[in-house]
């Protein structure tokens, strides 16, 4: 059994340390993923290494990291598939905590700002939803909240804007596309949540481990919806007549 070399970012934010990559030798086993190598280091070489993970099955989203500078799930990234030296670091769009752990809690704060499901008034029960209407937003429910899409987004990462980011646009889009929902979130996204800063580069959908077509199926439709709601006089008149926001 040969060894592989893996460089892992080490820094304790609370001790005011400067961060750096530290190289470790790890025994290679056929089929191993990056999380196996990181866990080997944390179990047998340096137990002070902080790493977050739960399912090891690409379901919980907690092992999100930057592997060779690309946001990926450690438990889904095979060592065999990586070219050159392996560098593993924390997601850099979020405040750093320690080693491979970032503080992603801002996402839960943003999530609370998106208006929740608001059913149309006077709907007879039981509520009936037709399958084609459900299928449209079904894709967004596959989100595992890994926040890799937030991490890769250059607007979220580099600019001091109000943009809430791709994960949260798909949440708003899934509610806006709900056939029984009564409110419009796209105008809020455009006017208060920075949707206009997104320049549809599609980097977010490229890194999504659930292959959600974030830009094509959520961001672009929400941009179009907002443009209609704000600038189309006929749609504005209809919405006014129907008493919609």
DSSP class per residue in 38-63: HHHIIIII-TT-----S-SSSSS-TT
Contact call for residues 154 and 201 (beta carbons, < 8 A): yes
In the complex, minimum distance from the CB of residue 76 to ligand SF4, in angstroms, rounded to a whole number? 11
* Candidate residues 45, 55, 123, 134; the one interacting with ligand FES per rule CB under 6 A: 55
Contact call for residues 28 and 79 (beta carbons, < 8 A): yes
In the complex, minimum distance from the CB of residue 55 to ligand FES, in angstroms, rounded to a whole number? 4
The gap from C-alpha 141 to its chain's centroid, in whole angstroms, comes to 12
Binding of residue 78 to ligand FES (CB under 6 A): no
Stretch that binds ligand SF4, among 10-18, 42-50, 164-172, 176-184 (CB under 6 A): 164-172
Binding of residue 101 to ligand FES (CB under 6 A): no
Nearer to ligand SF4 among residue 48 and residue 158 (C-beta): 158
Partners of 73 in the β-ladder: 64
Tokens of 129: 């939803």
Binding of residue 114 to ligand FES (CB under 6 A): no
In the complex, minimum distance from the CB of residue 52 to ligand FES, in angstroms, rounded to a whole number? 8
Distance CA 150, CA 208 (A): 10
Stretch that binds ligand FES, among 19-27, 59-67, 82-90, 134-142 (CB under 6 A): 59-67
Stretch that binds ligand FES, among 50-58, 108-116, 128-136, 180-188 (CB under 6 A): 50-58
Q: How far is CA 33 from CA 59, 67, 81, 91, in A?
A: 15, 11, 9, 18
Binding of residue 60 to ligand FES (CB under 6 A): yes
Helix spans in the chain (H): 34-40, 106-113, 131-138, 148-152, 154-158, 166-176, 186-192, 203-207, 214, 220-231, 233-241
| R_g of the chain computed on alpha carbons | 21
Stretch that binds ligand SF4, among 80-88, 177-185, 199-207, 228-236 (CB under 6 A): 199-207
Binding of residue 32 to ligand FES (CB under 6 A): no
Binding of residue 110 to ligand FES (CB under 6 A): no
Stretch that binds ligand FES, among 13-21, 48-56, 124-132, 215-223 (CB under 6 A): 48-56
Count of residues touching ligand FES (by CB under 6 A): 12
The gap from C-alpha 26 to its chain's centroid, in whole angstroms, comes to 30
Note the residues at the interface with ligand SF4 (CB under 6 A).
61, 143-149, 152-153, 155, 166-167, 170, 198-204, 208-210, 212, 214-215, 219
């Amino acid at each position: 059994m040969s060894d592989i070399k893996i460089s892992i970012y080490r820094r304790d934010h609370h001790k005011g340390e400067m961060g750096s990559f530290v190289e470790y030798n790890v025994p290679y086993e056929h089929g191993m993923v990056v999380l196996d190598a990181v866990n080997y280091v944390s179990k047998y070489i340096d137990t002070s290494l902080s790493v977050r993970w739960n399912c090891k099955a690409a379901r919980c989203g907690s092992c999100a990291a930057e592997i060779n500078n690309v946001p990926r799930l450690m438990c889904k990234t095979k060592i065999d598939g990586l070219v050159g030296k392996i560098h593993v670091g924390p997601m850099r769009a979020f405040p750093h905590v320690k080693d491979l752990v970032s503080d992603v809690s801002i996402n839960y704060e943003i999530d609370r700002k998106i208006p929740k499901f608001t059913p149309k008034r006077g709907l007879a029960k039981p509520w009936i939803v037709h399958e084609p209407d459900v299928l449209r937003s079904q894709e967004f429910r596959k989100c595992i909240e890994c926040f890799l899409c937030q991490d890769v987004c250059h607007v979220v990462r580099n600019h001091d804007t109000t943009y809430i980011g791709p994960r949260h646009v798909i949440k708003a889009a899934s509610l806006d596309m709900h056939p029984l929902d009564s409110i419009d979130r796209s105008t809020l996204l455009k006017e208060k949540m920075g949707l206009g800063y997104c320049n549809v580069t599609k980097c977010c959908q490229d890194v999504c481990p659930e292959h959600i077509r974030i830009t094509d199926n959520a961001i672009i439709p929400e941009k179009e919806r907002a443009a209609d709601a704000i600038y189309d006089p006929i749609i504005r008149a209809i919405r006014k007549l129907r008493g919609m926001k």
